């Protein structure tokens, strides 16, 4: 899910500044986004067929609201949470995510390295500010530094979604160092 332009611009500025000030560049290699379904290795089924299924589903969907919650640190990232709205779980976001996962699940190869990390833990909608190349010891300093950043606040309409293909020279190692991507398809809900 891609946020509106101004929000994406603010996120991109934060990621760019983290790269300039602290040399953290992994998050800056992606567009500003909230992952609905993360990386997966496709099985023998066709990508075209998957896009067709997603297209049919998304034609029937309506935009829904999401709200920025708090900045949260995880073991290898700093994120801006989106999983609650008005102080409660954002059920629309969670239901949307579960529907997308069910469409994609038959297309995931059984030897996909990302099954456990993406489908295992509970889903927490978020936009990533920094990840993978950030050290845990730096969290306090980075969080203090982010006090002056243009952190987005409030609600926005979730209406733009993309299907991306990712490439890396080292999926078994530090894939975030060589990752690139291309967009296969985009949907704007009406």
Q: In CATH, what class is 5-188?
A: alpha beta
Alpha carbon of 120 to those of 10, 109, 160: distances in Å? Answer: 31, 16, 25
Is it the case that residue 177 has pLDDT exceeding 90?
no
pTM, entire model: 0.91
Task: Give the mean pLDDT of 41-66.
Answer: 96
Q: Taking 70 as the threshold, does the pLDDT of residue 78 lie above it?
A: yes
Higher pLDDT, 54 or 121: 54
**pLDDT above 80: residue 121:** no
Mean model confidence pLDDT for the chain: 92
End-to-end CA separation in angstroms for the chain: 14
Q: What is the pLDDT of residue 60?
A: 96
The pLDDT of residue 6 is above 80: yes
pLDDT tens-digit series, residues 156-176: 999 999 999 899 888 888 888
Give the whole-angstrom CA distance, residue 134 versus residue 17. 14
Q: Is the pLDDT of residue 152 over 70?
A: yes
Residue 79 pLDDT: 94
Whether the pLDDT of residue 98 is over 90: the answer is yes
Average pLDDT over residues 2-18: 95
Residue 71's beta-bridge partner residues?
A: 80
In this predicted structure, what is the pLDDT of residue 105? 94
pLDDT band of 1, cuts 50, 70, 90: very high
Phi-psi region of 86 (alpha: psi -120 to 50; beta: other; left: phi over 0): left
Distance set, CA 30 to CA 1, 4, 40, 134, 183 (Å):
12, 15, 16, 16, 11
Using the predicted structure, report yes or no on whether residue 119 has a pLDDT greater than 80: no
The first and second tokens of residue 167, run together, are: 């490439």
pLDDT at 28 over 80: yes
pLDDT score, position 120: 67
Mean pLDDT of 27-35: 90
Helix axes 47-59, 91-104, angle to 10 degrees: 150
What secondary structure does DSSP assign to 90-142, as a single string? -HHHHHHHHHHHHHHGGGB-TT-TTHHHHHSSPP--EEEEEESS--GGGHHHH
Torsion of CA 87, 91, 93, 94, to 10 degrees: 120
State the pLDDT at residue 134.
86
Confidence at 129, pLDDT banded by 50, 70, 90: very high
């Amino acid at each position: 899910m891609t946020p509106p332009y101004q929000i994406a611009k603010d996120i991109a500025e934060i990621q760019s500044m983290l790269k300039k000030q602290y040399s953290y560049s992994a998050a800056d290699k992606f567009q500003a986004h909230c992952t609905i379904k993360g990386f997966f290795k496709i099985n023998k089924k066709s990508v075209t067929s998957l896009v067709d299924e997603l297209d049919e589903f998304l034609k029937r969907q309506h935009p829904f609201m999401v709200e920025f919650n708090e900045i949260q640190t995880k073991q290898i990232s700093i994120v801006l949470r989106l999983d609650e709205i008005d102080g409660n779980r954002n059920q629309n976001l969670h239901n949307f995510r579960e529907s997308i996962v069910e469409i994609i699940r038959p297309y995931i190869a059984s030897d996909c390295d990302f099954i456990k990390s993406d489908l295992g833990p509970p889903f927490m909608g978020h936009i990533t500010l920094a990840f993978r190349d950030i050290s845990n010891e730096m969290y306090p300093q980075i969080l203090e530094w982010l006090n002056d950043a243009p952190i987005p606040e409030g609600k926005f309409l979730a209406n733009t979604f993309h299907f991306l293909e990712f490439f890396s020279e080292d999926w078994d190692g530090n894939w975030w160092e060589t990752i690139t991507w291309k967009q296969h398809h985009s949907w704007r809900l009406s």
